[in-house]
Amino acid sequence: MIDKYVKTECGLNKYSKLKAKRGVLAKARLYWFLFFATLRDLPKKQLKRK
């Protein structure tokens, strides 16, 4: 589902790393990343993953 908003391979890797971390600051950083990654990737086409 996140592939719809974060479309680059490096963005998806970063999302996986941030999602695995625990804690309040880690969650804040994850949401911060999702907000800006989504804004940056909106005009990009969907990445085809194998």
| pTM for the whole structure | 0.74
The label of the residue with tokens 């941030």 reads 18
Per-residue three-class SS string for 2-31: HHHCCCCHHHHHHHHHHHHCCCHHHHHHHH
| Residue that is written with structure tokens 């950083």 in the block | 29
Q: Is 32 helix (H, G, I), strand (E, B) or coil?
A: helix
pLDDT digits (tens, 9 = 90+) for 5-43: 888 888 889 999 999 999 999 999 999 999 999 888 888
**What ranges do the domains of the chain cover?**
2-41
Nearest to 6 by CA among 27, 26, 24, 32: 32
